[in-house]
Chains A and B, each alone.
Chain A
Amino acid sequence: MFKQQNYLALGAVVLVAVLLLSLPQRATSRLKVAVASWFLPLFGLASAGQQLPADLADNLLPRRELLKEIDQLRRDKEQLRVQALQTTAIQRENDQLRGMLDWQRQSPWRLKLAKIVTRDPANWWHTVQIDLGSRDGLTNNLPVLTSDGLVGRVSAVGIYTSQVVLVGDQNCRVSALVEDATQDMGVLSASGPLDTSLVDLNYLSSSANIKSGQNVVTSGLGGIFPRGIPIGKIVDAQEVEYGLATEARVKLNVNLGAVDVVWVMFP
């Protein structure tokens, strides 16, 4: 009798798992968001806990240091303001020239700041959750970046949080361009499960002249990432497929393991 109850429990658990896995995609993502929302109160606690040492450090910092920092920030702000003026002038000129050539005008990037709240607990995915959701206007496939370069794209959207699949995950393929004379193009894919700072650049032509240290940026192909977002630098390259193609390793500009604030780019 006791053993029968045990096997009934096993059957019930397997049944629940099978039912969940056979739900339609839409229902599963809704259910996932609902279950993940249980953790929302803890996100606040965690961020408060992370903020506490910083607040303590601020309180311990001498006033002179703070004034010095404020002075430095003011200088930086002035410098950035001048740079912004220059950028606006260049943008205007670029728009005029594009208008003369009858090219489509480039729209400026609209960005929204987001904080990374959790990382994927499973080792076989490279995803993070950010604190922006559908109520902030997020939709699937929006590019995510930092000032250093590309981070990934939005892969699932909840009301308050969204999932971002990082560069280097199998589900985040990026069409990339090597900034050399021939502008060789390839596709970024995962390098391995351990080192998140390196990714592979595949499908480069066999005649590609790839050298260590060259910059890699997004090519703009694929319809998700606009052209020109920095990705990283070439580490090394080798011929593959019996010399028919070239494959390169790229060191990402962004330290994906340490980043905690990102920008979501809106179209």
Chain B
Amino acid sequence: MNRPIRRVGMVLAVLLLALIANVTVIQVFRASDYRERPGNQRQLLEQYDRERGPILVAADPAARSVDTGDTLRYQRVYSNGPLYAPITGFYSLVYGATGLERTENKILNGSSDLLFVDRTKQLFAGRQIQGGAVSTTIDPLAQAAAFTGLGSKTGSVVAIEPSTGRILASVQSPSFDPNLLSTHKPADIRTYYSKLTADPKKPLLNRPIVALNPPGSTFKLVVTAAALASGKFTADSLLPGPKTYQLPNSSKRINNWTHQACSSSGLITLRNALAISCNTAFAWLGNQLGADALREQAELMGFDTRFEIPLRAARSTFPADPDAPQTALSAIGQFDVRATALQMAMVGAAIGNKGVLMTPYMVQEIRGPDLSVLQTTTPMIFKQAMTAANAASETDMMVNVVKNGTGSNARISGVDVAGKTGTAQTGNARPSVAWFVAFAPAQNPKVAVAVSIEEAGTAEISGNGLAAPIARKVIEAVLRQS
């Protein structure tokens, strides 16, 4: 009987091999397909079973995971949710993640290569893998000052440390509460989310870095830089500043916001044109310099670049091929010039930092679960936007704007504040955008800030009236600490 026994043995061996082959197919080759099937709760639970690392603002967690003891074990909790929402984003069961929750997901959930050592330790200890922490560059006092300053107004504020590019504040209004999107009750999440999407003011929009608005008169900072760079103009060059500027080859005219000539003589220095925000002088200047020179200067200051800070910012633009009237309009920050608050803060930072524009960033350090520092972001130069001498000259002109010009509301006693107001029309019958770009102290700035208020009044003074006080509060908050 030995032969049939051996044969049966062979058959049983084949059955065994079939089992092994089948299990291999399931556990290796089809595993990722099965893992991603919609009905598979494991994947989700695995994410929620890990203690996700915190997002730190200074030493305090703006976002952290709290053990609920539920099936979905850890819940994301945001202290001061609406305040930090443009930075943290949300972490939702239904809608995925946004903000740093999304860009730093691998750190926070512990799967990043940076956390390899920690992960291996936890693996051998048989523990659940814990995520790493993300330290932001945000200054909580500046952030809070901007947030209270904005109040119920629609708009955004971005503050940057000019010497490094660290983003000190990124605030929007209206904001949302990420806590309500990060609960473990899908029905509640959906209700809140649809309420947010239905809101015409778009609270879910990351305004400070993606809302593109015409920068208005704050763009004159770029034009001034281009004028100085051309070598044909200095702060004391005389420009024509009549009551109206007839657009070349067009019946349209540009008026000054005062509806008067910029000076009794009809001629005005570049310094004074900036101080009183003389539209006719800058429209003329724009055409003198030409669209290419303006675009070149704009690009040196960050326009036409998509920054990842690491949140993806919108690309600020200078029109591609404007004709003469369009160039004149562009020179006063109208027509198709579009900028984010981040972009305008960078313009201020470039001028303040002696012409060197630093790449903006929001993540200061990556830390392990034990908060030991694994990686620190080193500041990087984006571009030499202008010469140090020209930067010093333009700084001086901006100080004059605050001291003697339209930016009076940004004055801080004992501190030289450099600033520029702006009010941009966004279209017929639509409310304008009030801007203020500033940095201080002028000679050695600790902070550059851009404030943009949408749906502001129509007057040029709205930049000074609405935006400048907020910029001043942010500057004060930063300077008080240094």
Q: Do A and B make up one complex?
A: no
Q: Interface of A with B (CB < 8 Å)? A: none
Instruction: Spell out B's residues near A (CB within 8 Å).
Output: none
